[in-house]
C-alpha cells in the first residue's frame, strides 16, 4: 500500500515535470547563473579555482535545491492538495518519502546537466579516478539535504513566511553535509590529506542515517491533525 | 477563580536574583585574581561561559519538551501535559535566544584581545551560532501564528531536528580543524588555576542558570495567561452568538 502510494505521488511529480519542465529549467538556469556570478565575484584563476571550486559547487547545490524544494511544494498548495495527499490511506510517511525521492531526482538531474558546465567555468579538472568519490559525495550530500529540506518544506509550505523561514531553519541543520561535501569534493580533485576522505564519508553517512530515522517520525507527528 | 496572590511574591524573586547577580559581579571583579596573560578582559569569561552553558542547556531541554509535546498531543488524558510542555518549550526557546545573543555579544569582545580576532570558526562558537539561528527561525514561526495548533507542531519539529544537527556540526568542525582550538575556552582545568577563580566561575554559572529558570518560568506564565485570555474570548463570542 505504502509503496504504491509513494510510487503514485513520485510519478505524478515527475510526469508534471516532464510536461511542463518548469522546475528543472529554473533550477539548471539558476545554478549556472550562480556559478557565473561566483566566477566574477572571486575573479577566478587556476590557483583560486582549486581553493574555492568545491565550495562553489556545493553552494550551488544548496541554492538550486532550495529552489526545487519551493516548486515541489508550491504545487500542493492550491486547492489544499497537500491535505488530500495526507489523507491518502498510506498516510504522511508515503508523502514524505515520495517528496524526498522527487527532490533527490530533481537535484541529481540538474547536477548532471550543470556539472560539466560548472567544471568548465570554474576551471577545476576532475581526474577520472576522482569521479566515484565525487559521485558518492554528491549522492550522500543530496540525500542528506533532501531529508531535512523536505521535512521543513512540507511543514512550512502552508505558512505565509515560507520563503524566509525555510532557509533560516534548513541551512543551519545541513551545515555538516556541506562541510563534508566540500571536503570530499576537494579530495576527489586531488586535494587534502590521504585517509581524510573516509572520516568525511562516515560523517555524511552518519548524518543521512540519523535523519533517515528522525525526519519521517517528525514529519508524521507534525502533519497529522 | 484563583485566589489573589500576596503582593510580596512578584518582587521577591527579582530582588533575590538581582542581589545574587550583584554579588557575583562584586566577587568576579574584586575577589578573583587578574589573569596573567589577558588581564581584566578575562573577567568577561565568567559571564560568557556561564551564559553559553545555560543557553545550550535551554535549547536542549526545549528539544526534549518538544518531543514530549509531539508524542503526547494526540493521547487521551495527556492534553494538559502536552499543552504545558509546548508552553515550556516556547519559553525555553525565547530565553535560549536571549542568552545566545548575550553569548554572541560577549564572545567577540573577549575574543579580540584573547585571540586577536573577533570571530573564528571554533567548534563551540559555530555550534552556538547555528543553533541560535535555528531557534531564531523557531521564534519567527511562533510569532507568525501564536495560538495556531499547526504552528505549535511545526515549531516542535524544528526544535527536535535541531539538536542532532548541532552535535553533528560540532563533530564536523572538530574534524575540519583537527581539534587545535585555543585551550582557554576549556574552562575547567587549564583556564581556572586559582581557587577563587573556580569559586567565581561556579557562582556565575549558578546565578545565571537560576536567572534563566526564573525568566523561563515568567514566560511560561505569560503564555498560559495568553491562552486563558484567548479561551475566555472564544467563550464570550460563543455566548454572544447564542444570545442572538
DSSP B139-162: HHHHHH-SS-HHHHHHHHHHHHHH
- Angle, CA of B107, B111 and B114, to the nearest 5°: 145
Is residue A165 less than 8 Å (CB to CB) from chain B?
Answer: yes
Interface of A with B in 69-108 (CB under 8 A): none
Rg (CA), chain B: 21
Predicted confidence at residue A141, as pLDDT, reads 94
Residues linked to residue B35 through DSSP beta bridges, in sequence order? B39
ipTM of the complex: 0.85
Q: Is the pLDDT of residue A116 over 90?
A: no
Backbone angles phi, psi at A126, to 5 degrees: -100, 105
Q: Which residue has the cell 511543514?
A: A155
Q: pLDDT digits over A13-62, tens only?
A: 899 888 988 889 999 999 999 988 888 888 777 777 778 888 888 999 99
Contact A73, A154 (CB under 8 A): yes
Number of domains in chain B: 1
What's the average model confidence in pLDDT over B27-39? 74
Euclidean distance between CA atoms A28 and A112, whole angstroms? 10
Q: pLDDT digits over B55-76, tens only?
A: 999 999 999 999 999 999 888 8
**Global confidence as pTM:** 0.86
Contact A32, A42 (CB under 8 A): no
- Residue A170's closest chain B neighbor by CA? B134
Predicted confidence at residue B38, as pLDDT, reads 66
What's the burial of B244, exposed, middle or buried (CB within 10 Å: 0-12/13-18/19+)? exposed
What's the burial of B61, exposed, middle or buried (CB within 10 Å: 0-12/13-18/19+)? middle
Q: How many CB atoms lie within 10 A of CB A95?
A: 24
Predicted confidence at residue B1, as pLDDT, reads 45
Cβ within 8 Å of residue B190, ≥6 positions away: B183, B184
Residues from chain A that touch B74, judged by Cβ atoms under 8 A, are: 224
Is residue A19 less than 8 Å (CB to CB) from chain B?
Answer: no
Residues linked to residue B63 through DSSP beta bridges, in sequence order? none
What's the average model confidence in pLDDT over B10-14? 82
Of the partner residues A151, A164, A175, the one whose CB lies closest to the CB of residue B161: A151
Is residue A153 less than 8 Å (CB to CB) from chain B?
Answer: no
List Cα–Cα distances, B192 to A26, B35, B46, B89, in angstroms. 56, 9, 10, 34
Predicted confidence at residue A69, as pLDDT, reads 92
What's the average model confidence in pLDDT over B229-236? 88
Residue B34 falls inside a structural domain: no
Predicted confidence at residue B37, as pLDDT, reads 66
Predicted confidence at residue A143, as pLDDT, reads 95
Euclidean distance between CA atoms B237 and B244, whole angstroms? 11
Which of the residue ranges A36-50, A129-143, B96-110 would you say has the lowest mean pLDDT? A36-50
Helix (H, G, I), strand (E, B) or coil at A3: helix
Contact B82, B73 (CB under 8 A): yes
Residue B17 falls inside a structural domain: no
Is residue B66 less than 8 Å (CB to CB) from chain A?
Answer: no
Of the partner residues B131, B137, B176, the one whose CB lies closest to the CB of residue A165: B137
What's the average model confidence in pLDDT over A110-119? 88
Interface of B with A in 21-50 (CB under 8 A): none
Residue B88's pLDDT band, with cuts at 50, 70 and 90, is very high
Q: pLDDT digits over B171-213, tens only?
A: 777 777 654 444 444 444 445 667 777 888 888 888 999 999 9
Q: Please give the residue range of the domain that contains residue B143.
A: 43-243
Predicted confidence at residue B66, as pLDDT, reads 93
Which of the residue ranges A177-186, B32-41, B42-51 would you say has the lowest mean pLDDT? B32-41
| Mean of pLDDT over chain B | 82
Higher pLDDT, residue A208 or B242: A208
Residues linked to residue B39 through DSSP beta bridges, in sequence order? B35
Residue B199 falls inside a structural domain: yes
Cβ within 8 Å of residue B136, ≥6 positions away: A168, B97
Predicted confidence at residue B36, as pLDDT, reads 65
What's the average model confidence in pLDDT over B22-34? 83
Residue B145 falls inside a structural domain: yes
What's the average model confidence in pLDDT over B4-9? 58
Best residue in B157, B171, B173, B174 for a mutation probing chain A (most A CBs within 10 Å): B157
Of the partner residues B131, B133, B161, the one whose CB lies closest to the CB of residue A218: B161
DSSP B184-240: GGG-TTTT--SHHHHHHHHHHHHHHHHHHHHHHHHHHHHHHHHHHHHHHHHHHHHHH
- Angle, CA of B101, B102 and B103, to the nearest 5°: 90
Residues from chain B that touch A211, judged by Cβ atoms under 8 A, are: 161, 164
Which of the residue ranges A24-33, A91-100, B17-26, B29-38 would you say has the lowest mean pLDDT? B29-38
Residues from chain B that touch A161, judged by Cβ atoms under 8 A, are: 140-141, 144
Of the partner residues A160, A168, A183, the one whose CB lies closest to the CB of residue B137: A168
Q: Which residue has the cell 588555576?
A: B193
What's the average model confidence in pLDDT over A118-128? 80
Here the cell at position B92 is 525555553
Amino acid at each position: 500500500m505504502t509503496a504504491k502510494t509513494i510510487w503514485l505521488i513520485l510519478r505524478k511529480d515527475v510526469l508534471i515535470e516532464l510536461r511542463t519542465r518548469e522546475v528543472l529549467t529554473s533550477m539548471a538556469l539558476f545554478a549556472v547563473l550562480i556559478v557565473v556570478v561566483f566566477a566574477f565575484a572571486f575573479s577566478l584563476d587556476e590557483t583560486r579555482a582549486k581553493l574555492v571550486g568545491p565550495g562553489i559547487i556545493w553552494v550551488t547545490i544548496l541554492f538550486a535545491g532550495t529552489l526545487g524544494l519551493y516548486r515541489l511544494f508550491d504545487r500542493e498548495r492550491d486547492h489544499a492538495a497537500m491535505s488530500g495527499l495526507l489523507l491518502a490511506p498510506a498516510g504522511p510517511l508515503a508523502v514524505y518519502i515520495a517528496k524526498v525521492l522527487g527532490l533527490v531526482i530533481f537535484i541529481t538531474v540538474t547536477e548532471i546537466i550543470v556539472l560539466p558546465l560548472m567544471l568548465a567555468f570554474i576551471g577545476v579538472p576532475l581526474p577520472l579516478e576522482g569521479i566515484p568519490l565525487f559521485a558518492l559525495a554528491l549522492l550522500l550530500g543530496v540525500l542528506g539535504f533532501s531529508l531535512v529540506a523536505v521535512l521543513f518544506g512540507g511543514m512550512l509550505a502552508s505558512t505565509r513566511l515560507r520563503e524566509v523561514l525555510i532557509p533560516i531553519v534548513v541551512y543551519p541543520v545541513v551545515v555538516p553535509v556541506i562541510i563534508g561535501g566540500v571536503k570530499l569534493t576537494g579530495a576527489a580533485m586531488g586535494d587534502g590529506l590521504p585517509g581524510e576522505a573516509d572520516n568525511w564519508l562516515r560523517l555524511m553517512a552518519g548524518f543521512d542515517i540519523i535523519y533517515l530515522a528522525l525526519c519521517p517520525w517528525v514529519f508524521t507527528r507534525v502533519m497529522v491533525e | 477563580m484563583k485566589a489573589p496572590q500576596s503582593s510580596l511574591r512578584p518582587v521577591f524573586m527579582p530582588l533575590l536574583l538581582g542581589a545574587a547577580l550583584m554579588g557575583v559581579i562584586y566577587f568576579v571583579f574584586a575577589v578573583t585574581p587578574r589573569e596573567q596573560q589577558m588581564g581584566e578582559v578575562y573577567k568577561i569569561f565568567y559571564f560568557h561561559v556561564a551564559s553559553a552553558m545555560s543557553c545550550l542547556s535551554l535549547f536542549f531541554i526545549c528539544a526534549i519538551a518538544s518531543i514530549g509535546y509531539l508524542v503526547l498531543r494526540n493521547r487521551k488524558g495527556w492534553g494538559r501535559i502536552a499543552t504545558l510542555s509546548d508552553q515550556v518549550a516556547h519559553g525555553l526557546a525565547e530565553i535560549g535566544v536571549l542568552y545566545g545573543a548575550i553569548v554572541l555579544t560577549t564572545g567577540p569582545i573577549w575574543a579580540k584581545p584573547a585571540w586577536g580576532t573577533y570571530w573564528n570558526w571554533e567548534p563551540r562558537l559555530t555550534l552556538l551560532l547555528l543553533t541560535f539561528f535555528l531557534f531564531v527561525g523557531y521564534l519567527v514561526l511562533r510569532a507568525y501564528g501564536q495560538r495556531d495548533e499547526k504552528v505549535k507542531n511545526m515549531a516542535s519539529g524544528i526544535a527536535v531536528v535541531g539538536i542532532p544537527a548541532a552535535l553533528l556540526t560540532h563533530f564536523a568542525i572538530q574534524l575540519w580543524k583537527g581539534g587545535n582550538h585555543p585551550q582557554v575556552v576549556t574552562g575547567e582545568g587549564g583556564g581556572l588555576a586559582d581557587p577563587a577563580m573556580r569559586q567565581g566561575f561556579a557562582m556565575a554559572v549558578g546565578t545565571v542558570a537560576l536567572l534563566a529558570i526564573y525568566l523561563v518560568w515568567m514566560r511560561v506564565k505569560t503564555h498560559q495567561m495568553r491562552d486563558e485570555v484567548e479561551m475566555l474570548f472564544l467563550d464570550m463570542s460563543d455566548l454572544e452568538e447564542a444570545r442572538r
